[in-house]
Amino acid sequence: MRKKGSAIQKRLNILLLVCLVPLGVLVIYLIVLINRFSERYDEIVENITMANAYNIDFKEDIDYVMYIVVANSERAEELVDTSLPHTMIDEARDVFNKLCEMTDDDNAMSQLQRIIKSLDTLEDRIEDIEADVGVSGAYDKNMEALDLNVRILTDLIQEQIQEYIYYEATNLESLREGIRSDVVQAIRMSVVLFIVICIGAIIINRRIIRSITEPIRNLCDVTKQVGQGDFEVRLQEGSDNELVALNSSFNRMVEHIDNLVEDIRVEQLNLRAMELKLLQAQINPHFLYNTLDAIIWLAESGQDEQVVMMVSALSDFFRTTLSKGKDYISVREEKMHIESYLKIQQFRYRDILEYEICIPEELYQYKVLKLTLQPLVENALYHGIKNRRGMGRIWVTGMEENGSLIFYVRDNGIGMKTETLQRVRCLADGDGKEQDSDAGFGLFNVAQRIRLNCGEEYGLTLSSEYGKGTEIRVVMPAVKI
């Protein structure tokens, strides 16, 4: 099956026709005009040439032949027998009759008719002279007839031929003027037609260019939007050229990319949820290990009442930790959680640990990620307080500022040296791995969980001075329960 011509190809064909058809018409017109001028010119020149031939030779030939007829009786009989004068007149009559058929000028036609009549009269006079040639004593009469009739008629015919030539020359001048007028008209028509062709070609060319460039420009704009992450844009498919297939394919491609991006986003969300669950699973066993270690130590030392109190605090601690599987708890629950943890740890480190929790009640209406502050308190204890001599202290404070919840976990422990602080800050920024620092599971997991749940603009900020202590600043969005 033959494919249908493309729309752009059709437009180009129209542009070609707009240019070629008027030019073809103009060329045909000029050819016809030139051919008409040429034919008319050739006709007039041929008429003048034929008439001019008799204007030069006819009179002399007739006069000479008739003089021979009158003056030389011996040759006269031969000329009369051969009808040479009549033959010459017949030939001239045929020529001028032919000229009558060819001419369309009234003056020239009238002059040709006079020439033919004069030829008829000349033939009659020649017959009279031929009749008297053999009569004795008629020489003088024939010479007189030659002078008065033949030579006068040939002069008249010659004058008539000259007048005919004059009229034909006048027609030639008229033809020249007509040619000039037609040339001027042809030039005007050519200029007008050229202007029309240019205007038509420009209009059609602009439409063709617009029909090509505008869809391409739209395609570039939409491609730029897609490159910026907007997969909802689509190209219009209502045109009738080759770009329909391109637009349709582009729309299908964008839709496919959009579906792929959505699939990736869903997979990332699932992966994110799995990571959170994994981080949560890492945190809980670590807490349990440390707490059970403290209970074992108390049990081994025979401190039963403290074991009961510690198990009770552990129960409260895990009740908050589990929270029926919720990822978010209230600020009040988070405060109770770290209080339970610090009570448990104070049984073991009562000689070196004091703590103070100062979180205003107006923050209780907000929610926070579960197990956010407790791992930081744990790090403050194990990596700050335990590594110094004498009594250590942990402060936990909170506030709401510019739509964010801000908590501070500060200790007066051993602090960190510059190199260690730099590694720990990499953990908080997500640029390192938890095994790169002695901070252990807690700090890395808290930083990761805050970024995954709340966004990259939230997280932890650390400051520390060796020998004086460490402060961790926690920033999360202030969202009410």
Indicate the range of 132-146, 400-414, 452-466 predicted with least confidence: 132-146
Supply the pLDDT for residue 4.
Answer: 47
Integer Cα distance of 251 and 394 in angstroms: 60
Supply the pLDDT for residue 270.
Answer: 65
Question: Is 426 a residue whose pLDDT tops 60?
Answer: yes
When the pLDDT of each residue in the chain is averaged and rounded to a whole number, the result is: 78
Q: Are 370 and 331 in contact (CB under 8 A)?
A: no
Provide mean pLDDT across the span 133-140. Answer: 60
Question: Higher-confidence residue: 175 or 397?
Answer: 397
Q: Are 294 and 348 in contact (CB under 8 A)?
A: yes
Question: Higher-confidence residue: 108 or 376?
Answer: 376
Segment holding 188, helix H or strand E: helix 152-227
Rank 23-32, 375-384, 397-406 by mean pLDDT and report only the highest. 397-406
Question: Is 3 a residue whose pLDDT tops 70?
Answer: no
Question: Is 412 a residue whose pLDDT tops 80?
Answer: yes
pLDDT band at 371 (very low <50, low <70, confident <90, very high): confident
Provide mean pLDDT across the span 326-338. Answer: 88
Question: Could you report the per-residue pLDDT of 35-89, keeping only the tens digit for each?
Answer: 877 777 777 777 777 777 777 677 888 887 777 777 765 565 665 556 777 888 8
Question: Is 240 a residue whose pLDDT tops 60?
Answer: no
Indicate the range of 35-44, 260-269, 319-328, 456-465 predicted with least confidence: 319-328
Supply the pLDDT for residue 325.
Answer: 61
In this prediction, what percent of the chain has a pLDDT beyond 90?
12
Whole-model pTM: value is 0.46
Provide mean pLDDT across the span 364-391. Answer: 87
Q: Among residues 380, 371, 367, 369, which one has the least CA distance to residue 451?
A: 369
Supply the pLDDT for residue 382.
Answer: 84
Integer Cα distance of 171 and 173 in angstroms: 5
Region of 65 on the Ramachandran plot (φ > 0 left; ψ -120 to 50 alpha; else beta): alpha
Q: Among residues 413, 474, 422, which one has the least CA distance to residue 449?
A: 474
Question: Is 429 a residue whose pLDDT tops 60?
Answer: yes
